[in-house]
Amino acid sequence: MRSSVTHMGRCMHVAMLLVALQTAAQTAEQNAAQTVTITFHEEAYVKGPKVTLGEIADIAGDNAGALSGIEVDSAAAPRNSRRIDSRMVLARMRAAGIETSAFEVKGAKLIRTTTLHREVSPEEMADSLRAYVDKNMPWDPLDSEVSIAPPAQGIVVPEGELEFRWRPSQDYRYLGTGSFRGSVLVNGDIKKTFLCSATVEAFGEVLIAVADIPRNAPLSLRYFRSEKRALSALRNAVVSPDTDLSGYAAAKTIRTGEVLSQRNVTPRVLVKRRQMVMVETQVGALKVHTQVRADADGAEGDIISCTNLTSNKRFQGVVRRDGVVVVP
């Protein structure tokens, strides 16, 4: 009986020992899993404007991903360098409430960080401005010449998604030379501003008189030839070759070889003062026509006064294209 009890006691002791060993192993495994190892680099390249722990060290263990994103210092200006003390990094982590006593820290004491950068060349600025001008000017790029004067030197910006924005001077009309303020954005933030200039020469079809045209003479396309000219050399707005000239007359004498501009054309006078003209009036479904005296000159669309010589009454009407005065 005593031998049996002794045997049972030994079995219980062994079982308890096994449980204790298993618990110790699990505790050791858990402690090992909770151990974080931080190995600082001697040299690191960072994006800026802040330096993160993951950029200057290798991190192993639990929560490595979260620890990697911790901002530990400010980065130097693009393409410049600065040294960061690993002890200062740990001190800042502790000040932020992160318990670092269980961390295993290895590697360099001082880390040399260099901020990555991108150099934007004058050629890149010129290409961007040329594309902007081509898109926004009122002329066909195939009938225009655009030259760009970019800054003499390139600019340095942080790495990231690059974008240009342009703003022309307020009075520039995309003819001749104008100034543009450019901005370089990286990841949507403006990093640099600078000035460029662009010179635009546009060419368009104009009408050239093939003979002298007297003042007040009716105009017709047969009196002109079409020719392509530089628009910057023209002082006044020109008349397009597509314009219907039948309703216009020469506002002044147009000389041979002269460009037809809006200053030397005027609506053709269809009705002259003291001329007897036909008046059309709508009476119900009927149109009544009467001859009256015009009291003023009138072109198509003009409102003029007329006098009915029979009744001596005055009234107003609108001059129609055929010279008839229509009373609404």
Per-residue pLDDT tens over the stretch 181-237: 999 999 999 999 999 999 999 999 999 999 999 998 999 999 999 999 998 888 888
> What burial class does residue 170 get, using C-beta atoms within 10 Å of its C-beta: 0-12 exposed, 13-18 middle, 19+ buried?
exposed
Q: Is there a domain that residue 87 lies in?
A: yes
13 pLDDT tier (thresholds 50, 70, 90): very low
Q: Is there a domain that residue 46 lies in?
A: yes
Q: Is there a domain that residue 6 lies in?
A: no
User: Are residue 56 and residue 108 in the same domain, yes or no?
Assistant: yes
Q: How many CA atoms lie within 13 A of 204 on its CB side?
A: 20
Q: Is there a domain that residue 152 lies in?
A: yes
Per-residue pLDDT tens over the stretch 143-153: 999 999 999 99
Q: How many Å apart are CA 55 and CA 84, to the nearest integer?
A: 12
Q: How many Å apart are CA 239 and CA 214, to the nearest integer?
A: 18
Q: Is there a domain that residue 59 lies in?
A: yes
User: Are residue 184 and residue 216 in the same domain, yes or no?
Assistant: no
Q: Is there a domain that residue 263 lies in?
A: yes
User: Are residue 181 and residue 244 in the same domain, yes or no?
Assistant: no
Sheet with 37-40: list strands edge to edge: 57-60, 37-40, 104-107
CATH number of the domain encompassing residue 85:
2.60.480
Q: How many domains are contained in the chain?
A: 4
Among 91, 115, 139, give the residue marking a domain's end. Answer: 115
User: Are residue 79 and residue 123 in the same domain, yes or no?
Assistant: no
User: 173 pLDDT exceeds 70?
Assistant: yes
Q: How many Å apart are CA 153 and CA 122, to the nearest integer?
A: 6
CATH number of the domain encompassing residue 294:
2.30.30.760
CA-CA-CA-CA dihedral for 206, 212, 217, 219, to nearest 10: -20
User: Are residue 108 and residue 169 in the same domain, yes or no?
Assistant: no
User: Are residue 88 and residue 71 in the same domain, yes or no?
Assistant: yes
Rounded percentage of the chain residues whose pLDDT exceeds 90:
72
What does pTM read for this prediction? 0.58
Over residues 11-34, mean pLDDT: 44
Domain range for 261 is 208-223+237-267
User: Are residue 48 and residue 103 in the same domain, yes or no?
Assistant: yes
Per-residue pLDDT tens over the stretch 44-95: 999 888 999 999 999 998 888 889 999 999 999 888 999 999 999 999 899 8
Q: Is there a domain that residue 107 lies in?
A: yes
Over residues 26-53, mean pLDDT: 77
